[in-house]
Structure 1
């Protein structure tokens, strides 16, 4: 026989000792049935000892048995009375030996000793000094983590929690006892609910609500939303840094680079540079093109020498007609140009894995395939790390022309011999990479 207590810190499932303590279990189950414990606060929490609740007034002096409660509700004007307490069922074989032991609090005086509605849950093992004094009637079988949260809350000098912790709802999973007389009439009466007062019980102590954060309760809603967004952005940036998509979490996109999209496919680099150069000195202007076909992807990056020039171009060139297309201009959000560890221009070397210097993709070799486009032709090192061709620098062109001039007056066989030692390093690196990938694939197939 068990009951589910839904608290503001989590759920507790309590198994009851109905055979050993039938009267105590019946009292507890019927109080749950009339929602007596709903919104009751934990008014006494002693760390590594116990957490007490069951008093609607949260004063430690309230509460009554189910029979007294039924009589007070069904016959409020009757001169006869039903005792508030009932005799405690203290059984020697039921001890406070484990964490999560549930016991009825025994009142030693005032209207006779006995139990009413208040109960507590132990927060530590081997609380044997309670044996023989308090009436054990159940054990927590699910929700020990909830007990840990209750145990860690801050309390005042009288062990009252500074933050409101309550029983929100009670669900009876199994009830073997018949309803006592008058219980059904109370359930049909909408005014039967017991009074529930704040856990300070009129002491004047200010208690923090269960849904309040004392650090942000005085912050305006707009500022709280801004802080929430900043925390989410920082968390996402750390994740991207871990997987290698960002060089470091606090990286920021350059403020002097503009992103231009919705271009006409016929628009060239020099066309955009000529149009945007009236705002200031342009360091680079690149229309992004497809690697295989060479077709324009209809967007570009324009890097200005000064941030002020980029801002002026942003305000002036928005929605301007260029080659019969109205372009869209915004500040670049890409940080690939600053990510040298992730850059496609890093060469690989033997014995260093799939990447020449390690780092970057978190050791995942499948992500390295995205870098092979530019590595196969050798990147120029000045681009944005995208999948597109960057024109070779003038130094590479001059080097190629010098090769051709040196070998132009020799025969075919002489050309091969003279060109081979002067081959660029990137071709040897590419061949070494292909040999490495082939050996790796052979090893995987053999496994």
Structure 2
């Protein structure tokens, strides 16, 4: 039988000892059901000792059992008094020997003079607190959320052990309840959880759990900028986890330009010649379709210096190239920083593997152009074309003409030349 406490510092899942402490567990579960603990504060946090909650007044003197709460909130005119406390169920087999032990705070009853339990409980923040055995009644253990307990343990408190910044139970979810409801419980159960802390206006709160004193004097636009940076960092971490980024703090290179709206006939050599007047170009790649070899009409140009890339960015915007006005921007791609192609990360294939040489820029349907493949002097006579054709040796290779007419030739003539050359070799 379990209960989930959603606190301002994280979630806590508590398993209850319903067999050993049935009355205590019933009291706790039914108080949770009527939203008694919602928006309650941890009013007593002692480092490496305990964190105490369950008092609506956050003073350490309030709280009552579920049976007393039903009686005090019902419209019944009966005069029979219902005790505020009930006798603690202290068993010898349940001890305060582990961090995360949940125990009812046992205090002397002002009505009868005997010890009793009401609604206040605490969670131990240390191991081996056996000196609490026999004094307070253990009824559960934290099974999930020990990291939340560490956060609670590290908060700053005043001399009364009240956290300087509120820690509140935002919501309580009953995961399993084996007990039937006591008479009158449904009549006093609120239709919705409370939206106002029960101790509001008491003067105990120093800093609200939803307040940040470090940003009170920061302008709104600066706060918005910080929120955007935090959101961007979170998104980058997610992309790193799924493999889209090599690491979360990676930044796009400042010396690489992205050029789009190109004419389909524009080649790598054309762009490099045009942009080389701004500085030394390390690489210039027109991205092509893997299957057809057609230009996808965008390219990446890497300069040796960032200043050269900036100058080209300002000078080449909307410039006419091959009857097309190109668009120039700084590249936002980080694929160059990765040691593996993005589409091979999912397979775990290194870049040097033969199976990993398909794809470019994270896409299966793209391929690097011949000029920027690995150069091997022993294989200079191979075609190295961008479409899917078998690589064979050719007897002769006439140099490619670089005039304007060559750029306007269609791809079909090159394919026919290749087929004719292949048939000649077979004969």
Q: Same fold, TM exceeding 0.5? A: yes
- 1:180-202 deviation per Cα after TM superposition (whole angstroms, max 9, x unaligned): 33223223x65997983358941
Alpha-carbon contact 1:273-1:282 (below 8 Å) kept: no
Distance 2:247 2:179 in 1: 63
Structure 1 residues 342 and 64: alpha-carbon distance in aligned structure 2, compared to 1, 3 A threshold:
closer
Aligned residue in 1 for 2:118: 116
Distance 1:102 1:232 in 2: 34
Q: Given the alignment of the two structures, is residue 101 of structure 1 paired with residue 101 of structure 2, yes or no?
A: yes
**What is the root-mean-square deviation in Å for CA atoms of aligned residues?**
4.9
Q: Given the alignment of the two structures, is residue 387 of structure 1 paired with residue 368 of structure 2, yes or no?
A: yes
Aligned residue in 1 for 2:127: 125
Distance 1:223 1:126 in 2: 46
Aligned residue in 2 for 1:252: 253
Look up the SS of the partner of 1:86 in the other structure: coil
Alpha-carbon contact 1:237-1:250 (below 8 Å) kept: no
TM-score, normalising length: structure 2: 0.64
The answer for unaligned runs of 5 or more in structure 1 is 344-362, 374-385, 392-423, 431-447
Alpha-carbon contact 2:57-2:199 (below 8 Å) kept: yes
The 5-angstrom pairing of residues 60-71 of structure 1 reads 60-71=60-71
Structure 1 residues 294 and 5: alpha-carbon distance in aligned structure 2, compared to 1, 3 A threshold:
closer
Alpha-carbon contact 1:199-1:207 (below 8 Å) kept: no
Distance 2:328 2:108 in 1: 80
The 5-angstrom pairing of residues 206-285 of structure 1 reads 206-209=206-209, 211-212=210-211, 215=214, 219=218, 220=220, 221-228=223-230, 231=233, 249=250, 252-254=253-255, 258-267=257-266, 281=278, 283=280
Aligned residue in 2 for 1:16: 17
Alpha-carbon contact 2:97-2:128 (below 8 Å) kept: yes
Instruction: Give the CA deviation at 1:119.
Output: 1.1
Alpha-carbon contact 1:261-1:300 (below 8 Å) kept: yes
Aligned residue in 2 for 1:348: none
The 5-angstrom pairing of residues 127-206 of structure 1 reads 127-187=129-189, 196-198=197-199, 201-203=202-204, 205-206=205-206
Aligned residue in 1 for 2:408: none
Structure 1 residues 77 and 33: alpha-carbon distance in aligned structure 2, compared to 1, 3 A threshold:
same
Alpha-carbon contact 2:88-2:137 (below 8 Å) kept: yes
- 1:137-185 deviation per Cα after TM superposition (whole angstroms, max 9, x unaligned): 3333444443333333332222222333222333334444443332232
Which structure has the greater CA radius of gyration? 1
Instruction: Give the CA deviation at 1:249.
Output: 4.9
Which is worse superposed, 174-183 or 267-276? 267-276
Structure 1 residues 54 and 289: alpha-carbon distance in aligned structure 2, compared to 1, 3 A threshold:
closer
- 1:53-94 deviation per Cα after TM superposition (whole angstroms, max 9, x unaligned): 111111111101222211211148876643322233333443
Alpha-carbon contact 1:12-1:142 (below 8 Å) kept: yes
Aligned residue in 2 for 1:323: 322
Q: Given the alignment of the two structures, is residue 3 of structure 1 paired with residue 14 of structure 2, yes or no?
A: no
Alpha-carbon contact 2:251-2:334 (below 8 Å) kept: no
Distance 1:51 1:269 in 2: 68
- 1:270-323 deviation per Cα after TM superposition (whole angstroms, max 9, x unaligned): 76678779xx65645956376999865544566698566424414xx42x5543
The answer for unaligned runs of 5 or more in structure 2 is 341-347, 359-366, 382-427
Alpha-carbon contact 1:43-1:199 (below 8 Å) kept: no
Alpha-carbon contact 2:252-2:333 (below 8 Å) kept: no
TM-score, normalising length: structure 1: 0.62
